[in-house]
Amino acid sequence: GQSLEQPSEVTAVEGAIVQINCTYQTSGFYGLSWYQQHDGGAPTFLSYNALDGLEETGRFSSFLSRSDSYGYLLLQELQMKDSASYFCAVLGGYQKVTFGTGTKLQVIP
């Protein structure tokens, strides 16, 4: 089976940097994705790591270590609009995508 663990809640100050960690156990692994979901909205794709290392997209970066079954999402220069839930998701065997339970990020002034 597959399981993903994330912290349930994180609070950070506007303008700061926050890191959201994800550890996973999976029977097959192609890569790790990150999604953002605002209350009442649909999940939207942020990033995907298939190989070890850091991927940067604007204020957001994502890191993967396949040997440690670990990844993180790094959000820089936090803005109030970044308050949302963030999910890591594993692309596994047979292209099944399994999501974590999510991290609720609250950005405070």
Partner 1 sequence: DTGVSQDPRHKITKRGQNVTFRCDPISEHNRLYWYRQTLGQGPEFLTYFQNEAQLEKSRLLSDRFSAERPKGSFSTLEIQRTEQGDSAMYLCASSLEVNTGELFFGEGSRLTVL
Contact residues toward partner 1 (CB under 8 A) are: 30-33, 35, 41-45, 48-50, 87, 89, 91, 94-102, 104
Toward partner 1, which CB reaches closer, 102 or 107?
102
Toward partner 1, which CB reaches closer, 42 or 81?
42
Taking the C-alpha atoms of residue 74 and residue 59, their distance in angstroms, rounded to an integer, is: 8
Give counts: helices (H), strands (E), the chain.
Answer: 0, 11
Taking the C-alpha atoms of residue 44 and residue 109, their distance in angstroms, rounded to an integer, is: 25
Q: How far is the CB of 98 from partner 1 (least distance, A)?
A: 6
Taking the C-alpha atoms of residue 24 and residue 109, their distance in angstroms, rounded to an integer, is: 32
Toward partner 1, which CB reaches closer, 38 or 59?
38
